[in-house]
Amino acid sequence: MHRVFNPSDVSSEGLVEFAQDATAPKGLLFYHAKEGRPLATPWQVAALRAQAVAKHTLPDGVVLDCACGSGIQLAAYASTLQRPVLGVELDEERARASAVNLQTVATHAQAEQADWFCESAVLAGDGTAAEGVLAALEAKEATVAFLHLDPARPRNSRTHALEEMQPPLHTVLASWAPYFSPTAEGAAALLDLSPRLTAAQRVEVEEIVDHVWPGIDKLWEWTSRGRGRVDRLALWLGGIASEEVSRRFVRVPPSLAQMPLVLSTKEEEEPLVCRHHPPKRGEHVSILDAALIESGLVSTWLARTAPEDQLRWASTEGRRPQVHHDRPLQMNDDDSWLVQATGKVVELLTFALDETTVDRLVEMALEHRMASVKLRFDLDPALQPVLQGSLDRQLRRRHGVREGFVARHPVADVLLLCVSPAKDEDTPSI
């Protein structure tokens, strides 16, 4: 049985879990029923994705999210695409929260009388039962212009196997496939999946899709909000995919006022090979965003930022992927979002860094007129703040002007003291 919530007159009475979205404009308070907040899509991510979908021409029909959760992504689609949306959520309280959130976004946009809002609906019920959903809406004819699916995953799972996702991909696609508007590009759909999917699991997903829509265009997209991790992994299909691009990486910007950094390619993923080499002064070391490595698009990015350079991968796994190169990276301002640290090696530290040796590091830093040195390698969690605090206090009192960092060479038993490029220069003068 499906229950219909009309966003125009739904009430928030009884919904107690709500909060300001840190990535949304002030005043956008979203409700999240039954611990739904950790599972909700951040508004900034939802808005950027809706803007990307809006670049494509969608056919007539409704925008459907058949596992809409708190409805943040649903509301972003509705307000950005200016189209009626249909959300379906199995949990009734969360479905009502989704309708309230759609109302909140419409009010914020002063669009309470807009057709896209007045004609939208949220249903509590089974999103895999297309006929039941349409019967509850008393829709004699219904066409789907675009489908979004973000299936639930167990919060504590390490694998996020396909059979753990609810509702199941194959069931949803098979149920709704007959209702899509026919187009030359095929059905327009976006599958928002677990970022933990392996390459083998991505192949499984593609096989499920091809069983319903044989040969449909596919585009895998990795999205990161920083912190070295992939936050979202999605498969774009048909009318929102492209024959020219098969993989894409999106770095969400630090603020709403900025545009995302987008990398894309048609090329197959190029495996990265670590080359063991002795450390040396004068070479450049860059610690990159681990999410960029995971997306398989780092070679695309380096082809632009380090053209014709001799790249030597020292480490490709873990939190701090490290590449060595002969010249400074040629970066735009946005490229810095993908770099944890970059600089020229000025000293090789052959001693272990601890409370008894930190003063030696300070002396070396002062010789190179450094005002700040960040520790960019794994340390004992109890020791790291002690050493970093000592560095900050001692260097703050001096008259250095340069910034830098310390990295650990992954093979040689040595630390690398590096000077970062000056903000107004390509590289510091050493």
- The stretches of 190-297 forming alpha helices (DSSP H) are 199-212, 290-295
Q: How confident is the model at residue 429 (pLDDT cuts 50, 70, 90)?
A: very low
Answer yes or no: is 342 within a domain: yes
Amino acid symbol at 314 = A
Q: What is the pTM of this model?
A: 0.90
* DSSP state at residue 246: S
Is the confidence at residue 303, as pLDDT, over 90?
yes
Residues 248 and 303 in one domain: no
Contact residues for 48 (Cβ-Cβ < 8 A; gap 6+): 250, 252, 260
For residue 120, give the nearest of 78, 80, 160 by alpha carbon. Answer: 78
CATH number for the domain spanning 94: value is: 3.40.50.150
Q: With beta carbons less than 8 A apart as the criterion, state whether 208 and 169 touch.
A: yes
Residues 254 and 321 in one domain: no
Residue numbers of the domain that contains 226: 3-265
Residues 313 and 244 in one domain: no
- Check whether the bond before 260 is cis (ω within 30° of 0): no
Contact residues for 61 (Cβ-Cβ < 8 A; gap 6+): 142, 143, 144, 145, 146, 180, 181
State the DSSP string of 341-408: EEEEEEEEE-S--STTTHHHHHHHHHHTTEEEEEE-S---TTTHHHHHHHHHHHHHTS---EEEEEEE
Answer yes or no: is 428 within a domain: no
Burial class (CB in 10 A: 0-12, 13-18, 19+), 321: buried
Tokens describing residue 314: 């020292």
Count structural domains, the chain: 2
Q: Which residue shows structure tokens 């930190």?
A: 358
What are the tens digits of pLDDT across the range 73-87?
A: 999 999 999 999 999
Is the confidence at residue 267, as pLDDT, over 70?
yes
Tell me what the mean pLDDT of segment 94-115 comes to.
Answer: 95
Least confident among 34-38, 121-125, 303-307, 399-403 = 34-38
Distance, CA of 260 to CA of 429 (rounded, Å): 32
pLDDT averaged over every residue in the chain: 91
- In this prediction, residue 162 carries a pLDDT of 87
Is the confidence at residue 179, as pLDDT, over 60?
yes
- Which 3 state secondary structure label does DSSP give 217? coil
CATH number for the domain spanning 382: value is: 3.30.2130
Q: With beta carbons less than 8 A apart as the criterion, state whether 420 and 342 touch.
A: yes
Tell me what the mean pLDDT of segment 302-314 comes to.
Answer: 95
For residue 215, give the nearest of 245, 191, 185, 174 by alpha carbon. Answer: 185
- In this prediction, residue 285 carries a pLDDT of 97
Neighbours of 62 (CB within 10 A): 21
Give percent above pLDDT 90 in the chain.
75
Distance, CA of 282 to CA of 289 (rounded, Å): 23
Residues 96 and 220 in one domain: yes
Q: What's the helix, strand, coil split of the chain in %, to 5? A: 30, 25, 45
- In this prediction, residue 408 carries a pLDDT of 96
- In this prediction, residue 255 carries a pLDDT of 86
Residues 202 and 64 in one domain: yes
Q: With beta carbons less than 8 A apart as the criterion, state whether 239 and 265 touch.
A: no
Tell me what the mean pLDDT of segment 233-245 comes to.
Answer: 94
- In this prediction, residue 427 carries a pLDDT of 40
Is the confidence at residue 311, as pLDDT, over 70?
yes
Distance, CA of 379 to CA of 3 (rounded, Å): 54
- In this prediction, residue 256 carries a pLDDT of 82
Is the confidence at residue 391, as pLDDT, over 60?
yes
Residues 306 and 369 in one domain: yes
Answer yes or no: is 186 within a domain: yes
* DSSP state at residue 181: P
Residues 227 and 321 in one domain: no
Is the confidence at residue 224, as pLDDT, over 70?
yes
149 compared with 27, residue with greater pLDDT: 149
- In this prediction, residue 156 carries a pLDDT of 65
